[in-house]
Amino acid sequence: MSSALTVAPDTNASTRGASPEVTVTDPALVKRAVKAAALGNAMEWFDFGVYSYIAVTLGKVFFPSGNPTAQLLSTFGAFAAAFLVRPLGGMVFGPLGDRVGRQKVLAITMIMMAAGTFAIGLIPSYAAIGVGAPILLLAARLVQGFSTGGEYGGASTFIAEYAPDKKRGFFGSWLEFGTLAGYIGGAGLVTLMTALLSDHDLVSWGWRIPFLIAGPMGIIGLYLRMRLEETPAFAAAAAAAEKSEKSRPKVRIREMVTGQWKAMLLCIGLVLVFNVTDYMLLSYMPSYLTGQLHYDETHGLLLILGVMALMMIVQPFAGKLSDSLGRRPVIAAGCVGFFALSIPAVLLIRQGDLWAVSLGLGALGLLLVCFTAAMPSALPALFPTRVRYGSLSIGFNVSVSLFGGTTPLVVTALVGATGNLMMPAYYMMAAAVVGGVAVWFMTESARRPLPGSPPAVESGDLPRGAHATAA
């Protein structure tokens, strides 16, 4: 079955401003593409959710110390180290995806992510092999970080290039639905284990279970991705290049960065506010509730799970909203909300009462949906087809590495150095300012073709008088 059709306009198309060709999307293939991409993202964030929620236990297993704060810092340090190699992964997998295809590279990243996560569950403890344990943990995290360098840029590009223009926000929102599902799966499993296992059992063997689950998940995800066809946009570009030049020309990284420098700066700014707030709520807050506010660990985890479940419910509707209102208004609303409400939300969380903590976390979660729903469709639209995977992967991972993945480590250190428990609020406010500047300069992309690609429509939306032939 062909994944796209080329639509020839009628003879009077030029008088109506019609495009010389239109891509007609196959609804069944679009849904399969969304599922495969979202599952990969879910597996990536299953690992992040597990690592964040079980950070205190991992500190005891791999970084023995009499100081709990030092253990937590060491654990988050290994967490952040993986983000240092993500730009390298983006520089390798991104250009490769623009040259050999999105589907092939996404299959490779799936294998590497699953292998890295599975390997963590097999590492002996510090008590068993000494300093070799944290070294092996770091090595596994570096493999994860390198592979995820090609994951988000490829997955969001994959969905964006498959989806029809008027529904790109809705379909793109399911990518972050996968993120939340992975987080809930990982965090829920850790919460269940924390409730059922003693501290001794959790430290001695229980912590391994969530990481070992990544093996079967990776096999399922790889199967789904291998069954997919290449995206219509890439297939059309490859066919055109083969027809005119016999092979796709190699795009240099310099062209992907300096040749797209305006879009790259916008990408870095948008990803900064997206990921600082994301990691603050989903990765740092569980440890903040337990370590800084001395909140009951199980209850704190359940509250975060509730917030993520709420976000999952709202996510597709917010994606539809970005299709109707536009990406800029939705993302701008999130930036304004984080700037205005971060301090009140953190004050509510610090109050400690169940209703106050729930209200503060819920407010942050709903604001975060403005980003999780709109970014997967807004970011790919910054770049043309020829360099989309590479430019997006590089810009995304540079920003995540410098600002997003380091958020738990930096904020933990700031709170420890200053004793000021409002640091999370100030950090989110600063990120909101940067994001607001990026939104101001970005161009609206909702309901418009991706740069370098023809309009993409569903079969019922064909231009009047147009007819379709197999691409």
Please say if the pLDDT value at position 66 is more than 80.
no
Please say if the pLDDT value at position 394 is more than 80.
yes
| CB atoms near residue 153 (< 10 Å) | 32
Q: Span 290-313, mean pLDDT?
A: 82
Least reliable range by pLDDT among 162-166, 237-241, 439-443:
237-241
What is the secondary structure of 215-261 as a DSSP string? HHHHHHHHHHHHTPPPPHHHHHHHHHHHHHHSSPPPPPHHHHHGGGH
Residue at 467 is within a domain: no
Please say if the pLDDT value at position 12 is more than 90.
no
Sheet with 4-8, edge to edge strand ranges: 456-457, 23-25, 4-8, 467-470
Return the structure tokens found at 320.
């539809």
The pLDDT, as a whole number, for residue 198 is 87
Instruction: State how beta strands 4-8 and 467-470 pair.
Output: antiparallel
Please say if the pLDDT value at position 451 is more than 60.
yes
In the chain, the amino acid numbered 344 is P
The pLDDT, as a whole number, for residue 14 is 33
Residue at 66 is within a domain: yes
Please say if the pLDDT value at position 246 is more than 60.
no
Q: Span 67-71, mean pLDDT?
A: 67
Residue at 336 is within a domain: yes
Residue 137 contacts residue 96 (beta carbons within 8 Å): no
Most confident of 83-87, 147-151, 311-315: 311-315
CATH number at residue 172: 1.20.1250.20
Residue at 365 is within a domain: yes
Instruction: Band the pLDDT of 77: cuts 50, 70, 90.
Output: confident
Please say if the pLDDT value at position 216 is more than 60.
yes
Please say if the pLDDT value at position 69 is more than 70.
no
Return the structure tokens found at 145.
């970080």
Return the structure tokens found at 471.
């691409």
CA–CA separation, 285 and 345 (whole Å): 12
Provide the 3-class DSSP secondary structure of residue 469: strand
pTM of the predicted model as reported, rounded to 2 decimal places: 0.86
Please say if the pLDDT value at position 465 is more than 80.
no
Please say if the pLDDT value at position 16 is more than 60.
no
Residue at 468 is within a domain: no
Work out how many domains the chain is built from and give that number. Answer: 1
CA–CA separation, 346 and 368 (whole Å): 15
CA–CA separation, 210 and 49 (whole Å): 10
Instruction: Band the pLDDT of 444: cuts 50, 70, 90.
Output: very high
Q: How far lies 285's CA from each of 15, 281, 431, in Å?
A: 57, 5, 17
CA–CA separation, 322 and 373 (whole Å): 8
CA–CA separation, 431 and 337 (whole Å): 12
Residue 455 contacts residue 23 (beta carbons within 8 Å): yes
Instruction: Band the pLDDT of 305: cuts 50, 70, 90.
Output: confident
| CB atoms near residue 448 (< 10 Å) | 14
Range of the domain at 435: 4-11+21-462
The pLDDT, as a whole number, for residue 399 is 93
Convert the pLDDT of each residue in 130-172 to its tens digit: 888 888 988 888 888 899 889 999 999 999 999 999 999 999 9
Residue 4 contacts residue 445 (beta carbons within 8 Å): no
CA–CA separation, 15 and 12 (whole Å): 6
The pLDDT, as a whole number, for residue 373 is 97
Provide the 3-class DSSP secondary structure of residue 270: helix
Q: For residue 467, what is the enclosing H or E element?
A: strand 467-470
Most confident of 235-239, 272-276, 397-401, 418-422: 272-276
Convert the pLDDT of each residue in 360-391 to its tens digit: 999 999 999 999 999 999 999 999 998 999 99
Residue at 470 is within a domain: no
The pLDDT, as a whole number, for residue 97 is 92
Convert the pLDDT of each residue in 177-200 to its tens digit: 998 998 888 878 888 888 888 888
Return the structure tokens found at 270.
């948008």
Q: Span 26-36, mean pLDDT?
A: 87
Q: Span 327-335, mean pLDDT?
A: 98
Taking all residues of the chain, what is their mean pLDDT, rounded to a whole number? Answer: 85
CA–CA separation, 334 and 312 (whole Å): 16
CA–CA separation, 234 and 97 (whole Å): 10
| CB atoms near residue 104 (< 10 Å) | 15
Please say if the pLDDT value at position 104 is more than 60.
yes
Nearest to 144 by CA among 81, 92, 206: 81
Residue at 210 is within a domain: yes
Residue at 469 is within a domain: no
Return the structure tokens found at 181.
């599902």
Least reliable range by pLDDT among 158-162, 404-408, 436-440:
404-408
